[in-house]
Structure 1
Amino acid sequence: MRIVFMGTPTFAVPSLRTLIEEGYNVVAVVSQPDRPKGRKKVLTPPPVKEAALELGLPVIQPERMRSEEAVAEVASYNPDLIITAAYGQILPKAVLDLPKFGCINVHGSLLPRYRGGAPIQRSIINGESETGVTIMYMAIGLDTGDMLSRVALPITDEDNSGTMFEKLSLAGAQLLKETLPPLLAGELPAVAQNEDEATYASNLTREDERIDWTQSARSIFNQVRGLSPMAGAFTYLNNEPFKIWACKPLSAHADATTVGTIIAASSEGITVQTGDGQLLLTQVQPAGKRMMDVADWLQGARAIIGVELVSAVQE
């Protein structure tokens, strides 16, 4: 059994390591190209590449998986099975048709809900109480293939995208471990997805990060934790970007204060009026500074009671 594994971020690393630990013959690993990272734009390999090199596996990094050269290089490894986990590119039919056991994907949602590139973040932003991992056959459509196995995990108020990525990556690796033996033995039936239940989790944009203070405290709380610790949600304070990394909703009661207005500040956090209820900001990042607890920021901040946080720079 010759397996080609495709993945890029940290989410995919436990699945790759599990394959090796279980004794599967991973003949090559495909990952996205190295990218500039950080303020100094240092060219940095993706986590899956680092893990693969540590494990002594050959790595392929095509810029475009759809190119003839990339397809030919993958074909040269004569794979019996291709396994993907958060690879980041759609595979062309020429690749999908290569392995006799097909191509399977470890996807971070309970399909058919949240197909697409940002299922974990979107699940949290939308206030879901549950998500999970689905392993399915890959098809031409976006996460439309028949399902082989699923596992569900709760999303708690203490979770953000970072904690859920970690939980789901480990759950996906365990599910892969349990799925492969019956799959390869021809004993695991595939189940078609219900198209009527399908929803999509499109990649996040800058607008998804912008806070609209007319929304409820609960909605903004979900947005902040859905974007943390990756991009972060932002607003503007005194016409400068002001990121919010952690917060919690307070009791939802009516208040005549203008939405977005800071109505209290203490070592516990900054209280902001929203369209429905109040939000306690506990971890922030002022423009040009590092992420910090509100108590640390308040030590050097100007008087902020009554200051309005806004969704756009005011002319």
Structure 2
Amino acid sequence: MKKEDLRIIFMGTPEFAVGTLEALIKGGYNVVAVVTQPDKPVGRHQDTLQPSQVKVFAMEHGIPVLQPVKMKDPEFVEELRSYNADIQVVVAFRMLPEVVWGMPRFGTFNVHAALLPQYRGAAPINWAVINGEVETGVTTFFLDHDIDTGRVIEQRKFPIPDDADVEYVYDGLMNLGAEIALSTLDKVIECDGKVESMPQDDSAATKHAPKIFKETCEITWAKNAKNVYDFIRGLSPYPGSWTTLVPKEGKPLTMKVFKTAKTNIPSVGMNPGEITVKEGRLLVACADNMLEILELQISGKKRMLVRDFLNGFKNIDNYTCR
């Protein structure tokens, strides 16, 4: 079989998925249709519909786009079946019912941004950085009934530098994900769909990657500085970690923190969250050491460097991070 003969349905929504879709198109693979989320209402009055980035890319390249509200909808299932796909490739999409993932003769495989069975779930990149991992990677696996539990086809590793934030790891894994998707498809073509795969060891699934909500992103200053440092870079630049600046008098402010630096300054005698300004440095007490804030954003303001913040916010010593 040639790659031009392998009929592929691609499923995905965000920018992360576009990297793989683009690689498929440039590589000459036969993507017969794309499935993505329905257009999202945006704007003050929710009266403007915004297409997903995968839809935008697909339409620019003349690929048919399907946008089901419900994956089990009979009309969608029949339309999907009409494309007679040999295989489906899923990147950053929702959970699929068996009637969908079991449809192609060669099955459906997912590109997951982690080294499974670790970090099953919706936010594997964030949680790997939050937990201070020095390495992550991407995995291709065949979908089955449960989330991220299917038989593994390929894995590739990716180092996480100590100063890397989620954006750096996201970009790296997006490119690596595209590479492993093409490699997996080449295996499918070479063996006419009879790809070797290995079951996951469920007992090794000790770290998880649940969906991240606003409350998940609140900083806990009572942890060690290294833990807080990893937490902040694990959410930077999006969705962004945050804390509440509480004044001795007046109204509290919400502050997002995007970048910090570890210090060797002990926080002995200080309460977690207590703020000190020293020689132009904004320091916050953690359980063991002080953490230096480098980039932040006050609610209603733009993201800024600390030096710019301190120039316009003279009484920061009167606040505490809570």
Q: Do the structures match in fold with TM over 0.5?
A: yes
Matched, 1:48 2:30: no
Matched, 1:262 2:275: yes
Deviations 1:71-90 (A, max 9, x none): 22211211110000001x11
Q: Residue 259 of structure 2: SS of its match in structure 1?
A: strand
Counting matched residue pairs gives: 308
* Equivalent residue, structure 2, for 1:101: 106
Provide TM-score, normalisation by structure 1: 0.93
Deviations 1:119-149 (A, max 9, x none): 0001111111110000111111001100010
Aligned partners of 1:266 and 1:295 also within 8 Å? no
Kindly report the root-mean-square deviation, in angstroms, between the aligned alpha carbons of the 2 structures: 1.6
- Which of 165, 171, 174 is equivalent to 1:169? 174
* Equivalent residue, structure 1, for 2:163: 158
What does residue range 68-217 of structure 1 map to in structure 2 within 5 Å? 68-87=74-93, 89-186=94-191, 188-198=195-205, 199-217=207-225
Q: Which amino acid aligns with 1:217?
A: A
* Equivalent residue, structure 2, for 1:224: 232
* Equivalent residue, structure 1, for 2:285: 273
Provide TM-score, normalisation by structure 2: 0.91
Q: Residue 193 of structure 1: SS of its match in structure 2?
A: coil
Deviations 1:132-174 (A, max 9, x none): 0001111110011000101000111221111111100100111
Cα distance in structure 1, aligned partners of 2:158 and 2:239: 23
Q: Which amino acid aligns with 2:237?
A: P
* Equivalent residue, structure 2, for 1:313: none
* Equivalent residue, structure 1, for 2:311: 299
- Deviation, 1:254, is 4.5
Q: Residue 305 of structure 1: SS of its match in structure 2?
A: helix
- Deviation, 1:43, is 2.8
Q: Percent identity?
A: 37
Matched, 1:9 2:14: yes
* Equivalent residue, structure 1, for 2:63: 57
- Deviation, 1:266, is 4.8
Cα distance in structure 1, aligned partners of 2:110 and 2:253: 42
Cα distance in structure 2, aligned partners of 1:284 and 1:85: 32
- Deviation, 1:263, is 1.3
Cα distance in structure 1, aligned partners of 2:278 and 2:316: 8
Cα distance in structure 2, aligned partners of 1:47 and 1:272: 38
Cα distance in structure 2, aligned partners of 1:60 and 1:280: 48
**For residues 38 and 298 of structure 1, do their structure 2 counterparts lie closer, same or farther at Cα, with a shift above 3 Å needed?**
farther
**For residues 103 and 271 of structure 1, do their structure 2 counterparts lie closer, same or farther at Cα, with a shift above 3 Å needed?**
same
